[in-house]
Amino acid sequence: MKVAKRLITTAAFIVAMQGFIPTANASVVIAGTRVVFNQSDSEVTVKLTNNGKLPGLTKVWMDKGDPNIKPDAIDVPFTITPPIMRIDPSKSQTLRIMSTGEPLPADKESIFYLNVLEVPPKPTGDEASANQLQLAFRTRIKFFYRPSGLKGQATDAPGQIVWHLKHDGGKNSIEASNPTQYHVSFDRVQVSNGASASEFTDGGMVGPGESRAFPLKGEVPANSTKIRYTAINDYGGPQDGDASLAP
How distant, in Å, are the alpha carbons of 93, 101, 157 from that of 65? 25, 20, 22
Domain boundary among 127, 146, 165: 146
- Judge if 116 and 162 occupy the same domain: no
What confidence score (pLDDT) does residue 22 get?
A: 40
pTM above 0.75, yes or no: yes
- Judge if 12 and 87 occupy the same domain: yes
Neighbours of 29 (CB within 10 A): 19
- Judge if 229 and 125 occupy the same domain: no
Q: How many domains does the chain have?
A: 2
Question: Residue 203: which domain range?
Answer: 154-244
What residues in the chain have per-residue pLDDT under 70?
1-24, 123-134
> What does the H/E/C string look like for 101-123?
CCCCCCCCCEEEEEEEEEECCCC
Contacts of 19 by beta carbon, 8 Å cutoff, 6+ apart: none
- Judge if 18 and 61 occupy the same domain: yes
How distant, in Å, are the alpha carbons of 63, 103, 159, 164, 214 from that of 224? 40, 44, 19, 11, 16
Runs of H (alpha helix) within the chain: 126-129
Residue among 90, 142, 76, 89 nearest 115 (CA): 142
- The DSSP 8-state label assigned to residue 229 in this structure reads E
Examine residue 82 and say whether the peptide bond preceding it is cis (omega within 30 degrees of 0): yes
Domain boundary among 105, 129, 146: 146
* CATH code of the domain covering residue 66: 2.60.40.10
Specify the 3-state DSSP secondary structure of 72.
helix
Domain boundary among 100, 121, 146: 146
pLDDT in tens, 119-176: 877 766 665 555 666 678 999 999 999 999 999 999 999 999 999 999 888 899 999 9
- Judge if 29 and 142 occupy the same domain: yes
- Judge if 99 and 52 occupy the same domain: yes
What confidence score (pLDDT) does residue 169 get?
A: 80
- Judge if 43 and 124 occupy the same domain: yes
What confidence score (pLDDT) does residue 136 get?
A: 85
